[in-house]
Structures are given as structure tokens and as C-alpha cells.
Chain A
Amino acid sequence: MTTRCMIVDDEPLARKVLQRHIATLPSLELVKQCGHAAEAAAYLHENGVDLIFLDIKMPGMSGMEFLNT
């Protein structure tokens, strides 16, 4: 069984780095990438994930605020 994970980060290059790392680990499965917290929240309403890679400093809603919702 693989761990379903998600990336939330506003910087595309930073997402790419994480995506690379996740791809090298067979136990992780990347199911969603989001550019901001609102998009991530919408996705989580419909789907479940096991692990979130969450950036803290983001425009709009910060990672900490998102975590609290």
C-alpha cells in the first residue's frame, strides 16, 4: 500500500523539487499539486490524502492557517 500525498506550495519550482523527490520513493504516491491553500482545501473536501507537504509562507492563506481549518 502506498501513501497518498499532496504538495501545497505557491512556487512552481519548489513544487517541482518536491515532486522529484517523491517520485524517487516507491512508497509515496503524489495525487495532487496545489499552487495555493484554497485550491488544496477544495480538493480535500472531495478526496482524502495521507500526507501533505505544506509550505508555510504563501500568499493569501498561509500554511499554518490552512492547517487550522
Chain B
Amino acid sequence: MKGDEKTKFIRKLWHVRTVRHLCYWLLAYSVLFVTVLVYDRASSALEITTIIVIPGPIPVYLNFIALSGLFEKRRYTLYFITLVVIVAGSGFLIEYVFNLIMQDPGSHISGPGLALFYIAVTTGLNYYAQGLRQQFRLQEAEVERTRAELSLLKAQVNPHFFFNTLNSLYALSLDRSERVPEVILKLSALMRYVLEGSDREETALEDELSFIEDYVELEKLRIGGNPDIRVEKKGDLRGKLIAPMILVPFVENGFKHGINTMVGDGYLLIRLKVEEGNLEFVVKNSRTAGEPDSTGMGLKNVKRRLELLYPGSHDLSIHERDDWFEIGLRIKL
């Protein structure tokens, strides 16, 4: 057998309860043997350990049966009565075997005490192991829950945006505008990014940025007029990864609650900067004073996603005045 197969085989064997228990007993036996050996000759060490360990499994397994059959079914009184019977009976047996083999009236051991000791140690170990397994299961469940929550929160571009863009396209096509092919390409790039991003954990920062740029272009088309909309980038974006669609909701928000509320020309500034593994992202937009502000709700999902994806390694700040709104996001990439 090769090394890999060997470990697999051993692991498989370890899952067999009998094998596992046999190993425990061997371990207990050798510990006892070595302990006695320190004080006495090898032959007597072997003798004593044999006498003590061989009757050991009887009370231990009887107790396990009683535990699962009575204690875990909440029949406590019956369990304790059974326990006393097991301790007394197997204690008597241990003493009987001890005296039979040792045939030395000078030496004496307490059978019931020994039986109780075995039972106490094994019961303790048993429930400790069960507790550990339970804890592992809980942790796994927690990870699973987080994953499920993340896929629920996964940002989708507001379907309205696609509807609006198709309307703009329709208007452009009525005039046989030369911009139509370009707009269709941008729209298809956006849809592809949303589709592919939905089952990916990370994406290139450059892709997220070009999504934002395309998105902005399409929104400009719809809005008309002459708003000051700028996308600025600084630093080296190459090779940097980020959770897909984590920046987009802020841009969407800038349009929905910013530019779209302006009667005259507003401004929307998007700035992305990479410096020493840190991403700095700023969206600042003008808005009409007194607009009902639903930013809290709109950004709630993305806030929760940030908490789950970048725990302790992101910083989101929001500044606002009556006529402008600014978010600043810093992520350690």
C-alpha cells in the first residue's frame, strides 16, 4: 500500500467503533503497566495490570448500555439503581479475580471503587467527545448559514435599470442612431457580469470597475442634460480581487437618490484608489434637499455583505448635507 492509501485505510479503520475502543483499552493498559513498572518488577507489573484491566470493560460497557437505555431516556432513578448494581456486581467480580490470581492475603483492592473509577473516567470522556462533535456540527452549521445568507444578499442590479436601458435603446433605434450597437454591447457586458458574478466569490477589481463605467455610460444616456459624472481611478488595479457587485450598489444609490432627484444638472463623482493593498472607494453625489431619503434601506444589504465578507477589514463612512451625499469605503484587499 502507498502512503496515501495507508492513511486512508487507517482512517477507515478508526471509524470502526470496536477498533477505536480496542486502541483506548491498549493505551490505558500500557499507561498502567508503565506506572506499576516504575515501582515494581516487570512480571508483577504485567500481573497487576492484567488483573485490573481485564475486568475493566465489564462495568464500562454495562454502564454505556444503561446510559443510552435509561439515562438518556430520562429514567434517572432506574439508571442510578442499575448503576449501583453494576458497580457492586462488577466490583465483586474484580475482587474475586484479583484474589484468585494473586493468592496473597496481604494485598487487597476495592473492586467497587475501581469499577466506579472506570465508569467515571469513561463516562466523562464519552460526553466530552460528544460535546466536541456537537460543537463541530454547530460550527459547520454556522458556516453553512453564512453561505446561504450571502447568496441571498448577493446584489442584483435593480431590474428596473435593465428596463430603463431597453427603453433608451428603443428610443435610440427609432432614430437609427449610430450608438445602438455600442449600447447593446455595454448592456450585454453588464448582464454577463451579473450572471457570472452571482456564482463567483471573487472577481478582478478591474472587471468591477469596468462594470461601473458601463453602468454609468448607460445611465448618462437615459438622463440626458449635462450632469457632471466622473469615474476616476488611481493606483495599480491589476491582480487585485474583490467580491463581485460589492461596489455597484453605491453607484446605483448615487443615481437613484442623487442625480435622478436633481432638476438641473447635478454631479456624481466616483473615485477608486488602490494603495498598498487597500482599496479606497468614494461616491459623492449632489441631491435635492428634502428628497425622501431611503438610502438606509438601499444600502442595508451591501452593508451586511461587507460585514460577512470583510469582517474587521473594511470601513464604511457616510457623510451628508442637505444637498450632497458621500460614502467612503475602505477595504483591505
- A selection of 16 A-B contacts at a CB cut-off of 8 Å is A11-B224, A13-B168, A13-B221, A13-B222, A13-B224, A14-B171, A16-B175, A17-B167, A20-B174, A36-B263, A38-B263, A59-B260, A59-B262, A59-B288, A60-B263, A60-B288
Chain A: minimal CB distance from B288 (Å): 6
Known: A13-B167, A16-B175. 6 other contacts (CB 8 A): A11-B224, A13-B168, A16-B171, A16-B174, A17-B174, A20-B174
Segment 145-173 of B: residues with Cβ below 8 Å from A: 167-168, 170-172
A26 at the interface (CB under 8 A from B): no
Residues of B within 8 A of A11 (CB): 222-224
Q: What is the minimal beta-carbon distance from A25 to any residue of chain B, in angstroms?
A: 15
Contacts of A12 in B (CB 8 A): 224-225
B261 adjacent to chain A (CB < 8 Å): yes
**Counting chain B CB atoms within 10 Å of each CB, which of A11, A20, A35, A60 scores highest?**
A11
CB contacts (< 8 Å) of B224 on chain A: these are 11-13
A38 cross-chain contacts in B, Cβ below 8 A: 263
Main secondary structure of the interface of B (DSSP, over half): helix
Assuming A59-B288, A60-B288, is B172 touching A13 (CB within 8 A)? yes
Q: Residues of A at under 8 Å CB distance from B? A: 11-14, 16-17, 20, 35-36, 38, 59-60
User: CB within 8 Å of A: which of B199-255?
Assistant: 221-225
Q: For the complex, what is the distance from the CA of A34 to the CA of B163, rounded to whole Å?
A: 23
Residue from B171, B261, B263 in contact with A13 in the complex, judged by beta carbons closer than 8 Å: B171
- B313 → chain A, closest Cβ, in Å? 37
Give bound CA distance, A38 to B168, whole Å: 24
Chain B residues contacting A13 (CB-CB under 8 Å) are 167-168, 171-172, 221-222, 224
Min CB distance A41 to B, Å, is 13
Determine whether the beta carbon of A17 is less than 8 Å from that of B263: no
- With both beta carbons as reference points, the residue of chain B lying nearest to A11 in the complex is identified as B222
Report the bound CA distance from A59 to B255 in whole Å: 12
Cβ distance A54 to chain B, nearest Cβ, rounded Å: 16
Cα distance A31–B266 in the bound complex, in angstroms: 28
Task: Find chain B residues with CB under 8 A from A60 CB.
Answer: 263, 288
A36–B222 CA distance with the chains assembled, in angstroms: 15
B262: nearest chain-A partner, CB-CB: A59
Cα A60 to Cα B223 with chains together (Å): 14
Query: How far, in Å, is A42 (CB) from chain B's closest CB?
Result: 13
Interchain CA distance A64-B316 in the complex, whole Å:
36
Are the CB atoms of B174 and A59 closer together than 8 Å? Answer: no
A14 to B167, CA, bound (A): 7
B225 contacts which chain A residues (CB < 8 A)? 12, 35
List the A residue with the shortest CB-CB distance to B170: A17
Q: Are A59 and B261 in contact (CB under 8 A)?
A: yes
User: From B172, which residue of chain A is reached at the shortest CB distance?
Assistant: A13
